[in-house]
Amino acid sequence: SDSGAGTMSSFGSLFRVSTFGESHCAGVGCIVDGVPPRMQLTEADIQVQLDRRRPGQAGAGSISTGRNEADAVQILSGTEKGFTLGTPIGLFVRNKDMRPNDYGDMSQVPRPSHADFTYQMKYGFRASSGGGRSSARETIGRVAAGAIAEKWLKEKYGIEIVSWVSSVGDVVCPESEINLETLSRDQVDQHMVRCPHIPTAEKMTECIKAARADEDSIGGVVSVVMRNVPVGLGEPCFDKLEAMMAHAMMSIPATKGFEIGSGFKGTEMRGSKHNDMFVIDKEGKMVTETNYSGGVQGGISNGMPIVLRLAFKPPATIGKAQPTADFTGQATSLAAKGRHDPCVVPRAIPIVETMAALVLADACLMQEARVASAVKLPEEVSQYFCDASMDGSVSFNGVVKGWPGMDKDLQKKQVEKRKAELEEELKNLSLILEGGGAAAQ
């Protein structure tokens, strides 16, 4: 994404979101630019992820904030008759359950490990209640924009993004209990903690409740898998795909760590073990036998699932009295009032998913432009270089042939698949020429 003055509230290049609003202002929202035209889109498509993020969810009151917001989204622009126009989409969510008086005693005391002090020093002024732009309310705009992105990604490429809570405090979900190929959001949402392994989820719940009972908080780790991601996403050298993912994820409030693939554990392995060996699958595509790379090599997606992990710190605002200093430098004691999450990871799940979607949507649009604008190579060199591809197929100057050393049956299968696609296109063109109504839509 672009960086520089004036872009601190914007993310993305071609698929771009700019968020606005604070925790206790009239409302929050965003402007989403670069959404492809003619995609069906209504508030209901966006509301699903906002409902998973919102405070006051049924059954989750014992482990989350007591603030209750409907977070009903309104589309202000960019659609007509339920379809996107390709123009900027304006989204707005009204704040309703605000209690700024809860922060009265805290306005002159910067909360330890919160953004009160740094915002005051940066701007010389700050929103004195609710945390302002550092509040998790700001993430509503991201989630709304990302919900649009993931709808397009699913329809265009079949991309699936699923996030889950993999640890709370020292309670860790066994990796062996998670099937990355089949894990679904329904499985994740069957427990309010959003850990799909129920025995572990129950232990996590007790951990969060114990922290809340002690007027304290606890951190955790959120994992995410992205399936069916096209090959070729990412812009080396400075906008590598994992770099943009790290940028997106570390911009989420309360994040303190980022891993992809083997992450820090990979440092304990030898290269001969860590290397992901290439093989040709039954569809004739190049895949890897293992996935320690986490779906990204050289900053570019390789078509394997992308797997990330995010560390979230314990929320800073707690009811337990702690010795600190006020803005005059005088020693004081702070016991925060208000309604705050004792652990943020259960509600962070849709935020992580939608931020991942924003990165992928931006990267897909960039790579689509590159593939579409590629020119043919001279015949004498084209045999040594395959065309840029997003679906993993192998072609030379537009002719699908498969990998030169590929099994002939697989090669034939790829060619026949492309032939069927071309025949379908030709059939539709013939119907148009004949004045057929079905294809003229």
pLDDT digits 0-9 by tens, 222-244: 999 999 999 999 999 999 999 99
Q: What is the pLDDT of residue 264?
A: 97
**Statement: residue 130 has pLDDT above 70:** no
Is the confidence at residue 18, as pLDDT, over 60? Answer: yes
Handedness of CA 388, 390, 394, 399 (dihedral sign): negative
Question: ω before 237 within 30° of 0 (cis)?
Answer: yes
Residues 349 and 195 sit within 8 Å (Cβ to Cβ): no
Structure tokens at 162: 């699923």
Rg of the Cα atoms in the chain = 24
What is the per-residue pLDDT for 441? 47
How much is the pTM? 0.90
Structure tokens at 67: 């603030």
CA distance linking residue 292 with residue 275, whole number of Å: 7
Q: Are 4 and 14 in contact (CB under 8 A)?
A: no
Two structure tokens written together for 276: 């992901």
Q: How do residues 44-54 score in pLDDT, each as one tens digit?
A: 999 999 999 98
pLDDT at 208 over 60: yes
How many residues are listed for the chain in this entry? 441
Q: Which residue has the tokens 């304990």?
A: 268
% residues pLDDT > 90 (the chain): 65
Count the neighbouring beta carbons within 10 Å of the beta carbon of residue 376. Answer: 10
Dist CA 420 CA 330 (whole Å): 77
Question: What is the overall mean pLDDT for the chain?
Answer: 90
- Residue-wise pLDDT tens digits, 329-348: 999 999 887 678 899 999 99
Residues contacting 206, CB < 8 A, separation 6+:
none
CB 167 within 8 A of CB 221: yes
Tell me if 243 sits within 8 A of 296, measured CB to CB: no
Give the residues across from 403 on adjacent strands: none
Taking 70 as the threshold, does the pLDDT of residue 297 lie above it? yes
Strands, E assignment, 285-392: 286-288, 296-297, 300-301, 306-312, 322-325, 331-334
Q: Are 93 and 71 a contacting pair, CB within 8 Å?
A: yes
Q: What is the number of other CB atoms lying within 10 angstroms of the CB of residue 173? A: 23
